[in-house]
Structure 1
Amino acid sequence: MKNIKYIFLVLLGGTMYGTMSSLVKLLYTKGFNAAELAFWQALLAALFLGVCTFITRKSDKGKLLYKDFLPLLLTGSAIGLTNFLYYQSVSYISASLAIVILMQFTWFSLLLEWIIFTKKPSRLEFLTVFFILIGTLMAGNLFDVKEWSFSPKGIMLALFSSLTYAVYIIANGRVSKGVRWQAKSMSIMIGSSLSIFIINSQTILVNNHFGSDFMLWAIFLAIVGTTIPTALFAAGISKIGAGISSILMTIELPVAVICAYVVLNEYISPLQIAGIIIMLAAITSMNYYKYLKTKKQK
């Protein structure tokens, strides 16, 4: 029962993440664009996390060293590209379809670890990928040819965001493990904002909507979409473990779909709901298996 609080923290962080796609799509109606939203969200989050780093500094334990900074910046560039591509995708396709495609990071991660680290997936993981793909076809309504009105560009943007998200997850789990979460997250967000700025400097500097209204929304995105979830995950994951946390974080998928339905009035068919359930079940089963396997090894 003592872990209930930490389970709630991780669920709350995942819920906050899940609301972002619908909110960003809503902000497009105000004329804002993906580049400026993703950039300022990352930059302001880096600032807020920098304040947290300064306030919570106690000793040299977990201190950010020069050798850690570059790997963290590169890791941040992956999540920066993820957010930009994901935000860009929802301007072409529905928010519910975008989140379904983003969840492909699960099998992208397995594929990358196989290619880069020669870590061959188990039979269960292959089976999981199969069910994720079936669930994706159902959740994306891709079995109904009559409904094929989606944008190929939007699909590709969402797929690339899924790939860069997989790169981020793998890199984040391997670099600078001893650095305190505040300093690590701050460095990652600096890398995130830099990568978005390099790619979209003209849009951010020239074709922007900078003003009080925009900055209020940017601050909201930075706090609710990055800073608070980062803190919640840091507090919760360390207590309940990555295995259970990865299961709980799949709440992002149903939350995003529900938000798309409530906020954007996007229609969700029973077939799509069934596909989402299959995806969630497959991802949860795989992560739970990994959790049990890790627990036995300990």
Structure 2
Amino acid sequence: MANLKYIIMVLMGGIMYGTMSSFVKLFYSRGYHAAELSFSQAFLAAVFLGTAQFLSRKGKVRLTRNEFISLLATGGAIGLTNYLYYQSVSYISASLAIVILMQFTWFSLLLDWAVFGKKPNKSELLTVVFILIGTVMAANLFGEDVQSLSWIGITLALCSSLTYAIYIVANSRVGHTVGWLPKSMVIMAGSALTIFIINVKTILAGSYFSYEFAMMAVFLAIIGTTIPTALFAAAIPKIGAGISSILMTIELPVAVLCASIVLNEQLGFVQIVGILVMLAAISTMNYYKSLKNKKEKQSGSALSP
């Protein structure tokens, strides 16, 4: 029953993440932009997490210089992800944006191979092929409306997928000795700082004192960042990264369903089949990755004296 609780926590975090693109696109209709929305989301999340850290029993955060810089840079990657992803939905549908964002699964494999020399095995390469097939179907790239697609939006979504992969790889390798609360706080601070630096003129020119904008920003910060971060940090160590990665694929169908309800976006049969193919391929990839990691740990412990 304990594992069930943590499984539900990961699922809830994925569901919350999945709703964000639809609400951001809805907020665009109120005259707001990706820069101010993504910045306020990251900044308020850092404030909320910092307040929680201040009120916690542990008090002060003790980080080495390398840990602090690494976590800030990791936050920069997720900040760029949110900004680019939010930018993409101003050009393409929320459904298409989430489909392209899911390419982070094979981008992360390429990063592990290029940077750390971890060559993907045959089963991983096969699942990448199925992810790409599912993507082509889900994006309806062979449909009649392909000429109406915004390639700017697709490029932005692809870039957000790459930076998301960088964030995932970096987050798994830095700050292992840092508690989840200060780690999340510094990452969100790095996210806000990065978005501010690349959009300084737009952000400084924005108006942030209206009740409407405040409610939007608080909603994005709490539902899109603070609560999922807390849920993942508490639950993922309990059930493992492999199972968690499979559970987090719920973000894809939730985003598509939310886009259908909130934005009235329509999907055809081929697109639905493509999404199912992607979900199956991503789940299979993460399953085999978890088995591979388990075997490596077992062999490592067997060799240790």
Distance in 2, Cα, partners of 1:91 & 1:191: 24
One-letter code aligned to 1:122: N
One-letter code aligned to 2:52: C
Matched, 1:77 2:76: yes
Residue number in structure 2 paired with 1:40: 40
One-letter code aligned to 1:2: A
Residue number in structure 2 paired with 1:5: 5
Shift of 1:294: 2.5
SS in structure 1 at match of 2:111: helix
SS in structure 1 at match of 2:124: helix
Distance in 2, Cα, partners of 1:222 & 1:207: 18
One-letter code aligned to 2:82: N
Structure 1 residues 210 and 201: alpha-carbon distance in aligned structure 2, compared to 1, 3 A threshold: farther
Note if contact 2:36-2:206 (Cα within 8 Å) is conserved in structure 1. no
SS in structure 1 at match of 2:258: helix
Shift of 1:145: 4.0
Distance in 2, Cα, partners of 1:208 & 1:137: 40
Distance in 1, Cα, partners of 2:30 & 2:147: 28
Note if contact 1:22-1:260 (Cα within 8 Å) is conserved in structure 2. yes
Distance in 2, Cα, partners of 1:46 & 1:31: 25
Structure 1 residues 70 and 111: alpha-carbon distance in aligned structure 2, compared to 1, 3 A threshold: same
Note if contact 1:114-1:120 (Cα within 8 Å) is conserved in structure 2. yes
Distance in 1, Cα, partners of 2:36 & 2:186: 20
Distance in 2, Cα, partners of 1:277 & 1:64: 43
Long gaps (5+) in structure 2: 299-305
Taking only the aligned residue pairs, the percentage that are identical comes to 66
Give the TM-score normalised by the residue count of structure 2.
0.94
1:188-267 correspondence runs (5 A): 188-208=187-207, 210-267=209-266
Note if contact 1:64-1:183 (Cα within 8 Å) is conserved in structure 2. no
One-letter code aligned to 1:36: E
SS in structure 2 at match of 1:3: helix
Shift of 1:213: 1.2
One-letter code aligned to 1:23: F
Residue number in structure 1 paired with 2:272: 273
Long gaps (5+) in structure 1: none
Shift of 1:51: 1.3
Structure 1 residues 31 and 146: alpha-carbon distance in aligned structure 2, compared to 1, 3 A threshold: closer
Shift of 1:292: 2.1
Note if contact 2:53-2:59 (Cα within 8 Å) is conserved in structure 1. no
Shift of 1:161: 0.3
Distance in 2, Cα, partners of 1:8 & 1:27: 29
Q: Deviations over 1:105-163 (max 9, x none)?
A: 01111111111111111101100110000000000011214443110100000000000
Shift of 1:207: 4.0
Shift of 1:176: 1.1
